[in-house]
């Protein structure tokens, strides 16, 4: 008889892999240290998630996430749309439909997505969900996972899927760091809800409106049920902006942005949450150690974290869950024996996104540091380098570049499809016509410092 599969962690990765495995006939137990989500979506703001503090941060769910959800968990996709999640086209710069129908993203708060995944999993007879249950350690004999230990006993299993996120308890036992690089950014986020009758803020990049600053960045992210969040990113050692984590300072600063201010007035929205700071962010890639036991699988943030600036984490987690569930369904007879191959495949798939995130963080950190030091920006004077942000800017004039940028940004095309001879030539041509990337338009760093001092 097959032992049950144990999934450690009930975040995006854990819930989605458990759901797909249960539907393929596997017995699955999900062990989650936090409490279950509320039954009523209206209470979602109250859901306490100390095990996954990033759930209090703004999120966007990219094209790949939407595509995987529609394909592999269509009932969850429909449930989300039925509960206030909106689909926003990114096929054109203006957000109007037309062109590639795959190019759409989901406007949802992160806990709302988990709420829907949890609801679906509760209906699966093959799934057993245990909230408030921390996995403490794993029992390994003869090189194989045999059981996991929780507070009141142990659960036999020969398959342990580690979906416990960036702070997985097994990160030092069964995995080693392949690479670990500081993201160089601290985020502060606050959520709001539009009042009845107030129109949705204009969005310039899918579900977001981004504002580049001199030494900082800010964004408005639209979410489900007329909620939205403002996020402001700063350098970790920029102590002048530290007070952004205080509600009064945050609100003063957020109101400096012309793109955000009309929606922050008392008549336009109400505050939903405190300011949630998130520091210590790292791009981290792990690989199982040589002697990692058979039956140990890595998923989501437990395998790889990247700078949230690209909004890739949830898409990566769901896509890896799809790949893992497919591998199990294709070769169900020796699941523990699949671990080395499946883990290696997941690592190889995520590697280009990891590398891209590390490189982009280096560039952003240099730009922000130079801006704060009043030095010339280290980006050169000629045609800018090809990356997602440049091509999105240029894409407002050239639909081919827009589409290429969006397909790569939404993980619907590999990153190699960005820097092609054709795209470089199109960029050069635009440059020769006088086009230039959008310059920072918002308040300056000194304005933010002044607002915080008020």
Ligand X SMILES: Cc1cc2nc3c(=O)[nH]c(=O)nc-3n(C[C@H](O)[C@H](O)[C@H](O)COP(=O)(O)OP(=O)(O)OC[C@H]3O[C@@H](n4cnc5c(N)ncnc54)[C@H](O)[C@@H]3O)c2cc1C
Query: Where do contacts with ligand X occur on this chain (CB under 6 A)?
Result: 8-14, 31-34, 51-52, 54, 57, 59-60, 134-135, 163-165, 169, 187, 278, 281, 300-301, 308, 311-315, 317
Q: Which residues contact 407 (CB under 8 A, 6 or more apart)?
A: 63, 100, 102, 103, 413, 417
Q: Which residues in 256-360 belong to E strands, given as ranges?
A: 269-271, 276-278, 282-288, 296-298, 304-305
Q: How far is the CB of 280 from ligand X (least distance, A)?
A: 9
Whether the CB-CB separation of 299 and 317 falls below 8 Å is answered with: yes
Q: Which is nearer to ligand X, 250 or 401 (CB)?
A: 250
Q: Which residues in 272-335 belong to E strands, given as ranges?
A: 276-278, 282-288, 296-298, 304-305
Whole-angstrom distance, CA of residue 191 vs CA of residue 381:
38
Q: Which of 438, 391, 443, 437 is nearest to 415 (CA)?
A: 391
Whether the CB-CB separation of 70 and 77 falls below 8 Å is answered with: yes
Q: Which residues contact 84 (CB under 8 A, 6 or more apart)?
A: 41, 112, 224, 225, 226
Q: How far is the CB of 200 from ligand X (least distance, A)?
A: 18
Whether the CB-CB separation of 237 and 280 falls below 8 Å is answered with: no
Q: How far is the CB of 118 from ligand X (least distance, A)?
A: 11
Q: Which is nearer to ligand X, 34 or 361 (CB)?
A: 34
Paired strand residues for 180: 284
Q: How far is the CB of 52 from ligand X (least distance, A)?
A: 4
Q: Which is nearer to ligand X, 13 or 129 (CB)?
A: 13
Q: Which is nearer to ligand X, 21 or 430 (CB)?
A: 21
Q: How far is the CB of 22 from ligand X (least distance, A)?
A: 17
Q: Which residues contact 245 (CB under 8 A, 6 or more apart)?
A: 188, 275, 277
Q: Which is nearer to ligand X, 60 or 92 (CB)?
A: 60
Q: How far is the CB of 158 from ligand X (least distance, A)?
A: 18
Q: Which is nearer to ligand X, 33 or 72 (CB)?
A: 33
Q: Which is nearer to ligand X, 134 or 369 (CB)?
A: 134
Q: How far is the CB of 34 from ligand X (least distance, A)?
A: 5
Q: How far is the CB of 373 from ligand X (least distance, A)?
A: 26
Give DSSP secondary structure letters for 198-227: PPPPP-SBTTEEEEE-SSEEEEEEE-STTE
H-helix segments, 337-398: 339-373, 388-395
Q: Which is nearer to ligand X, 66 or 445 (CB)?
A: 66
């Amino acid at each position: 008889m097959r032992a049950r599969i144990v999934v450690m962690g009930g975040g995006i990765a854990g819930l989605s892999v458990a759901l797909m495995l249960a539907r393929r006939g596997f017995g699955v137990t999900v062990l989650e240290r936090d409490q279950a989500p509320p039954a009523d979506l209206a209470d979602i703001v109250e859901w306490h998630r100390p095990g996954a503090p990033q759930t209090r941060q703004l999120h966007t769910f990219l094209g790949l996430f939407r595509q995987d959800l529609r394909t592999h968990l269509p009932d969850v996709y429909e449930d989300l749309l039925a509960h206030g999640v909106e689909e926003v086209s990114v096929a054109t710069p203006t957000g109007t439909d037309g062109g590639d129908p795959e190019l759409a993203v989901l406007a949802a708060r992160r806990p709302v997505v988990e709420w829907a995944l949890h609801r679906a999993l509760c209906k699966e007879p093959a799934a057993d969900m245990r909230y408030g249950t921390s996995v403490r350690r794993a029992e390994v004999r003869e090189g194989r996972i045999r059981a996991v230990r929780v507070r009141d006993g142990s659960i036999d299993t020969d398959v342990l899927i580690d979906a416990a996120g960036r702070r997985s308890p097994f990160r030092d036992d069964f995995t080693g760091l392949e690479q670990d690089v500081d993201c160089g950014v601290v985020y502060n986020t606050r959520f709001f809800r539009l009042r009845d009758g107030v129109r949705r803020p204009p969005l310039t990049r899918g579900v977001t409106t981004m504002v580049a600053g001199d030494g900082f960045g800010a964004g408005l992210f639209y979410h489900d049920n007329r909620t939205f969040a403002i996020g402001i990113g700063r350098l970790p050692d920029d102590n002048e902006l530290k007070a952004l984590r205080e509600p009064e300072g945050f609100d003063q600063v957020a109101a400096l942005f012309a793109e955000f201010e009309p929606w922050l007035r008392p008549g336009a929205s109400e505050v939903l949450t405190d300011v949630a700071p998130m520091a210590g962010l790292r791009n981290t890639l792990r690989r199982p150690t040589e002697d990692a036991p058979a039956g140990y699988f890595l998923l989501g943030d437990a395998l790889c974290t990247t700078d949230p600036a690209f909004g890739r984490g949830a898409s990566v987690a769901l896509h890896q869950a799809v790949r893992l569930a497919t591998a199990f369904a294709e070769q169900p007879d020796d699941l523990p024996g699949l671990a080395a191959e499946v883990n290696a495949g997941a690592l190889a798939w995520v590697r280009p996104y990891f590398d891209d995130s590390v490189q982009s963080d280096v560039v952003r950190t240099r730009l922000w540091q130079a801006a704060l030091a009043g030095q010339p920006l280290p980006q050169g004077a000629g045609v800018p380098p090809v990356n997602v942000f440049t091509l999105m800017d240029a894409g407002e004039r050239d639909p081919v570049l827009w589409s290429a940028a969006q397909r790569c940004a939404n993980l619907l095309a590999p990153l190699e499809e960005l820097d092609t001879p054709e795209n470089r030539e199109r960029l050069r041509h635009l440059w020769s016509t006088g086009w230039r990337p959008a310059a920072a338009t918002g308040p300056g760093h000194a304005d933010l410092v002044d607002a915080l001092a008020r």
